[in-house]
């Protein structure tokens, strides 16, 4: 049947600044492709591949990986709290939640959107209060969801409950 016509070399995380190199077995040419910096990939099908500048080959069900924007808010725990939150160079927003909490599940998509919107200006993490009760206790978390904003390693603001987007944005904007 059909063989692989192109290969894609993706750098390891330690060499994340290296460009991605594509090569074709048919033409033997190598070309550098610069993709935006992201934390994930999505798959997209397309119908034809251009192997040379003047010819195009029809291929069914070809797949290309396309960069997608990161939307996942990463968890933080007792072991990573100091380095990720308190020693951060930029402001940090932390959502305190638990898997059994209905309002917490309601605001997860909002927290993900805000993480994407403020990427580079604000880092966003989540703390599962069932798995890290010491952190929750240290900051007096008595009700979840609670969102706390830290700047320079200090607690600056807290928002309790499933609040609208505008409330969280107002709180974030104060510390950027």
In this prediction, residue 72 has a pLDDT band, given cuts at 50, 70 and 90, of: confident
**Residue 145 is assigned to a structural domain of this protein:** yes
Q: Across residues 68-80, what is the average pLDDT?
A: 77
**Residue 28 is assigned to a structural domain of this protein:** no
pLDDT tens column, 123-136: 999 999 999 999 99
Q: How far apart are the first and last CA of the chain?
A: 57
Residues that are catalytic: 101, 104
Cα-based torsion angle of the residue sequence 67, 73, 75, 79 in order, rounded to the nearest 10 degrees: 80
Q: Is the bond preceding residue 145 a cis peptide, omega within 30 degrees? A: yes
In this prediction, residue 5 has a pLDDT band, given cuts at 50, 70 and 90, of: very low
**Residue 65 is assigned to a structural domain of this protein:** no
**Residue 84 is assigned to a structural domain of this protein:** yes
pLDDT tens column, 95-113: 999 999 999 999 999 999 9
> Domain containing 84 — which CATH number?
3.40.30.10
- Give yes or no for a contact between 77 and 83, defined as CB atoms under 8 angstroms apart: no
Rg of the chain, C-alpha, whole Å: 22
**Residue 25 is assigned to a structural domain of this protein:** no
Number of domains in the chain: 1
**Residue 89 is assigned to a structural domain of this protein:** yes
Note down the domain range covering 90.
80-174
In this prediction, residue 176 has a pLDDT band, given cuts at 50, 70 and 90, of: confident
């Amino acid at each position: 049947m059909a063989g692989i016509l192109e290969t894609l070399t993706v750098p390891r995380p330690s060499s994340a600044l290296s460009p991605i190199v594509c090569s074709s077995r048919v033409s033997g040419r190598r070309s550098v492709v610069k993709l935006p910096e992201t934390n994930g990939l999505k798959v997209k099908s397309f119908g034809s591949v251009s192997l040379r500048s003047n010819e195009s080959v029809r291929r069914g069900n070809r797949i290309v990986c396309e960069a997608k924007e990161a939307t996942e808010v990463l968890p933080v725990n007792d072991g990573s709290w100091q380095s990720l939150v308190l020693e951060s160079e930029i402001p940090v927003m932390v959502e305190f939640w638990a898997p059994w909490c209905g309002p917490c599940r309601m605001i997860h998509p909002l927290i993900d959107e805000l993480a994407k919107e403020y990427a580079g200006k604000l880092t966003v993490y989540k703390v599962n209060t069932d798995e890290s009760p010491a952190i929750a206790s240290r900051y007096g978390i008595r009700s979840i969801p609670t969102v706390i904003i830290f700047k320079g390693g200090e607690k600056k603001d807290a928002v309790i409950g499933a609040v609208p987007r505008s409330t969280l944005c107002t709180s974030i904007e104060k510390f950027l």
